[in-house]
A and B are shown apart, each in its own frame.
Chain A
């Protein structure tokens, strides 16, 4: 997805199974089908350099994105969370995209941050993006010892209670393995999360959270 000026700046790369190539998509739906463009990407065990080339098709020049595989030193990354369907790591030297990674994966040595995560289990999905969760975790992958990234499931229902004037404000949170905040991709609005407030063992208030 090029921007209007024809450059890759602020562009996105759509990466999804070939059989879903004709399905509509939305970059803000949390599916992580598209990722922020980088000329260096590491996709499921392979490092690529991306460049823009022009090829002739039926006599007319057509722009083509060329993937050139690179050989790069790798290091171990240990993932302690569960249910990860896609993990995207921004950083240097590669933007890393991992689909259904195992507990230990090998990725290019370097520094990474702003993990974006899509979780899936039994058809239920949830996502965590750096801008939504304000979750900025930096890791360094080297050839010495495995780096550890604690993200993913199982998820936990939680709440943040904040005094607001004479009220106690309750904000619902869906937390991951390291306290990172997730959102459901598809939320059943007819069944919003519920809360109950106890003073000791006595329930003094209860209700449902409002969306928005």
Chain B
């Protein structure tokens, strides 16, 4: 339905009932109050406002819109064939992408001398922007899907922040693009599984749910893949743009792997060789 439509709507259903009733259903009225595009704007306006900050007053900073192109496309045109019940998952992915853009734009302020404080600030910024993004996607209303998506997103925010922290630790202070990708691809599923264990225990032991280990691990891996796919465009941007590379290095507490400088041989040795 067009986003701008609002007012008194009438919904009619029809189905062949084979003699049990009429095919045409009775009209059902619904007062649909659409807020148009306005509820969708806050996260994007806040991201735009971040360009006022001094570290972002450069052309390269605007490259952040490139990794955001995919989530923007998802907002404009949802994936065909996806059931409407899964819209909240798309909303969660978009919200996480917005939050990552927030971290990338604020990284000069988020990266602190101590790794733990960097982790806390990354977590804080991710939480703020993902809440802003998800709330706007959900039209600032609460439904069962909002709660389900919100819980999943909250987990995703913590997992992402922890995975970035662990990737920085395992890179041992050296920045290697593909090494960073690989470590993140490893840590995301591991952290998703570990973080999901309490929930798995609660559902199976406390609520009597029937989830097998295989289903739990499969779900955690699937979510980790989506999480990594959301993060990957931002990592590629960091690899391609020196501006964002420095920011990622700051977040990971890593330095570039520089070649060992070639020093001239000592004079005595050189003399020996000539002799």
Among B18, B30, B139, the residue within 8 A (CB) of A122 is B18
Among B9, B32, B91, the residue within 8 A (CB) of A165 is B91
Extra pairs beyond A166-B139, A188-B16 (4, CB < 8 Å) = A121-B20, A124-B20, A155-B17, A157-B22
A168 within 8 A of B: yes
- Complex A-B, nearest 5 residue pairs according to Cβ-Cβ distance, in ascending order: A124-B18, A157-B25, A155-B21, A193-B15, A122-B19
Residues B18-43 near A (CB distance < 8 A): 18-28, 30, 32-35, 39-40
Contact B11 A163 (CB under 8 A): no
When C-beta atoms are compared, the residue in chain B nearest to A194 turns out to be B14
Among A156, A162, A165, A198, the residue within 8 A (CB) of B139 is A165
Q: Roughly how many angstroms separate A154 CA and B30 CA in the complex, as a whole number?
A: 24
A65 within 8 A of B: no
Contact A165 B21 (CB under 8 A): no
A135 within 8 A of B: no
Among A166, A191, A195, A210, the residue within 8 A (CB) of B11 is A195
Contact B23 A157 (CB under 8 A): yes
When C-beta atoms are compared, the residue in chain A nearest to B83 turns out to be A210
Q: What range describes how many residues of B lie at the interface?
A: 35 or more
User: Across the A-B interface, how many residue pairs have beta carbons closer than 8 Å?
Assistant: 133
Residues A127-183 near B (CB distance < 8 A): 153-170, 172, 174
Contacts of B34 in A (CB 8 A): 166
Q: Roughly how many angstroms separate A169 CA and B21 CA in the complex, as a whole number?
A: 24
B212 within 8 A of A: no
CB distance from A158 to the nearest CB of B (A): 5
Contact B28 A198 (CB under 8 A): no
Contacts of A164 in B (CB 8 A): 87, 143, 145
Most buried by A among B1, B3, B20, B33: B20
Contact A123 B143 (CB under 8 A): no
B200 within 8 A of A: no
B interface residues with partner A (beta carbon < 8 Å) = 1-3, 5, 7-28, 30, 32-35, 39-40, 83-84, 87-88, 91, 137-139, 141, 143, 145-146
Contacts of B138 in A (CB 8 A): 165-166
Contact A198 B13 (CB under 8 A): no
Contacts of A188 in B (CB 8 A): 16
Contact A165 B18 (CB under 8 A): no
A205 within 8 A of B: yes
Q: Roughly how many angstroms separate A159 CA and B23 CA in the complex, as a whole number?
A: 13
Asked if A157 meets B24 with Cβ closer than 8 Å, knowing A121-B19, A168-B1, A195-B12, the reply is yes
CB distance from A37 to the nearest CB of B (A): 25
Q: Roughly how many angstroms separate A165 CA and B145 CA in the complex, as a whole number?
A: 8
A41 within 8 A of B: no
Contact A167 B84 (CB under 8 A): yes
When C-beta atoms are compared, the residue in chain A nearest to B35 turns out to be A166
